[in-house]
Amino acid sequence: MSGDGAAGEREERRASVPFAHPSEEDFARILDFYGVTWEYEPQSFTLREEDGRVAEAFTPDFFLPGLDLYIELTTLKQSLVTDKHRKLRMFQERYPDKQIKLLHKSDYLSLLAKYGFGPFSEVEVEGIHEVLISASQIEQRVEELGAQISRDYRGQEPLLIGVLRGVMCFMADLMRHISLPVVVDFMAISSYESTEPGSVRIVKDLEEPLEGRDVIVVEDIVDTGMTLNTLLQQLAERKPASLKICALLDKRARRLADMPIDYVGFEIPDEFVVGYGLDFQQKYRNLPFIATLKRDWLSAHLKTQERPE
């Protein structure tokens, strides 16, 4: 999990690669944007031999180790495309265990979307700096959290409480990875910044009684911890049998009110993040990954010092 440093490193690395074609550099930039690791022209494969010598070889443009996939980019020139198709056929015949894809520029995005790395239609989302946690990283971690909760609560029927609205994606995915009977309920709160920091008002209360139940408060992100701290005190008054916290993101560096968080998805640096339910001024919740916002963009749009809910 990294901020500007990682983006800078990736940019530097990209600048040091002798790309043969600008479209290759574009493709590398898209891969970097989505946090997909890549190697450029990783290796040459022999396609044909004559008298024991290599008569024809093929070097795919990219290898994506995480997907175990070679990528060959196409140009618009029909003569070259035909030749590439021929080489790819030979490659697949000789190396049937290797996966390769021929990609036209318009195919990049749908390929990335297929592997969960991005939205379907946009490469650059306005204001987004970089992807901090990719969709597949989220998926894997949420699955682990669900499995852990299923083990810890074996024989019980936990009540999952989500704090709206940021938690919607996380809750929807997490509950499907809990292999126990669960009950789900939601509440909405708003914070009074003007009065006492961390004081919260319940805007929408729970439908479920808490008394005697095993409650897990599911949160998108714990930042200062002030909201959660006050909320937990209020929930504890309702006498649950147990009360635990599961947060997808933990911005520990900013913690003011300290409390144990029983289940944490990812610890993240002190950066404002959006996506996968998290918003900035109600936008970006539908991004399938978690991304940081550009600092200058963020400050330009922070007309008031109000904190998003």
Under the rule (CB under 6 A), what is the footprint of ligand IMP? 166, 219-228, 272-274, 278, 308-309
Q: How many residues bind Mg ion (CB under 5 A)?
A: 1
Residue 30 binding partner per list ligand IMP, Mg ion, none, with a CB distance cut-off of 5 to 8 Å that depends on partner kind: none
Give the pair of three-digit tokens for residue 82. Answer: 């035909």
Residue 308 binding partner per list ligand IMP, Mg ion, none, with a CB distance cut-off of 5 to 8 Å that depends on partner kind: ligand IMP
Min dist CB 280 to ligand IMP, Å, is: 6
Q: Catalytic residue at 97?
A: no
Among all residues, whose Cβ is closest to Mg ion?
166
Catalytic residue among 61, 214, 220, 223: 223
Residue 291 binding partner per list Mg ion, ligand IMP, none, with a CB distance cut-off of 5 to 8 Å that depends on partner kind: none
Min dist CB 138 to ligand IMP, Å, is: 15
Instruction: Give residue 214's identity as a one-letter amino acid code.
Output: D
Residue 8 binding partner per list Mg ion, ligand IMP, none, with a CB distance cut-off of 5 to 8 Å that depends on partner kind: none
Nearer to ligand IMP, 210 or 274 (CB): 274
Residue 273 binding partner per list ligand IMP, Mg ion, none, with a CB distance cut-off of 5 to 8 Å that depends on partner kind: ligand IMP
166 touches Mg ion (CB under 5 A)? yes
Min dist CB 35 to ligand IMP, Å, is: 18
Nearer to ligand IMP, 61 or 220 (CB): 220
- Binding segment for Mg ion (CB under 5 A), chosen from 159-167, 178-186, 192-200, 243-251, is 159-167
Interface contacts to Mg ion, rule CB under 5 A: 166
So which residues are the catalytic ones?
A: 223
